[in-house]
Structure 1
């Protein structure tokens, strides 16, 4: 689904090739917690390799899971994220009115809203320009959330 739009300057020189690509990535069900998905995102968007400079937008199509960028090295960070959010927004809080889908549902909606439904990542020379210790997380806020679908949209210029 990539679209390239070549153009020429006055002297016949070419502008860098502009492109757009969009793909869906469906991740299998994951247990509640924070899961690194950087490799899955990169593998799902092979057009990254042809982008000299650009942006990759990652959007999750769900209201009880989220995406974020954080440290990718220590599993302690992922566990501490989960501990913090479960403390800040406990399942089954008596003040919640939206309870039809289980005690973890409203808490999951709040956590997803706080963390967000998308991230935009820089692309440089065919790779995500993340910092050394950064990775993309799927944040699963439900005990049984099911498969999660991400829409990946890439735009940029090639050589």
Structure 2
């Protein structure tokens, strides 16, 4: 059994979904692991991870609109606003999603479905540099 780690840096430009499936696939391929488990971890409390459809852009648009409805920016609604009006809504959106994904590796690649992509879900309005940790355990 071998294990590998890597930290990816992803630059976001605004709130929304940023796909990074290609980077993950390339990294897994470079490790030459045939069978294993890939863990992806987001080191932030105002961004999260999703596996979601990567074919229709409307899916991402609708997801972003849904989260805007359930965790809107409203300065009178939240006590916590240390970093601005999008601060607490970003934490709520992260709490409703996840900061860690586990993906089996089969035949040397992540076992994603045909239309599945790996996304960083940025919950803040302004640009950020996000760190994503990859950990691969396998043989």
Q: Which bracket does the TM-score occupy, shorter chain normalised? A: over 0.9
In structure 2, C-alpha distance between the alignment counterparts of 1:113 and 1:120, rounded to whole Å:
17
State the partner residue of 1:87. Answer: 69
State the partner residue of 1:141. Answer: 123
- CA deviations on 1:74-100 (whole Å, 9 max, x unpaired) are 100000000000011101252311012
Q: What are the equivalent positions in structure 2 for 1:106-145 lying under 5 Å apart?
A: 106-145=88-127
Q: What are the equivalent positions in structure 2 for 1:36-115 lying under 5 Å apart?
A: 36-45=19-28, 46-47=30-31, 50-115=32-97
Greater relative contact order (Cα < 8 A, sep 6+):
2
- Tell me if structure 2 keeps the 8 A contact 1:60–1:118: yes
- Tell me if structure 2 keeps the 8 A contact 1:35–1:78: no
- Greater Cα radius of gyration, structure 1 or 2: 1
- Tell me if structure 2 keeps the 8 A contact 1:68–1:137: yes
Moved over 3 A (4+): none
- CA deviations on 1:89-112 (whole Å, 9 max, x unpaired) are 101252311012100010001101
TM-score (norm 2): 0.94
- Tell me if structure 1 keeps the 8 A contact 2:12–2:122: no
* Structure 2: runs of 5 or more not aligned: none
Report the alpha carbon displacement of residue 133 of structure 1 after superposing the two structures with TM.
0.8
In structure 2, C-alpha distance between the alignment counterparts of 1:42 and 1:28, rounded to whole Å:
18
State the partner residue of 2:14. Answer: 31
TM-score (norm 1): 0.83
* Structure 1: runs of 5 or more not aligned: 1-17
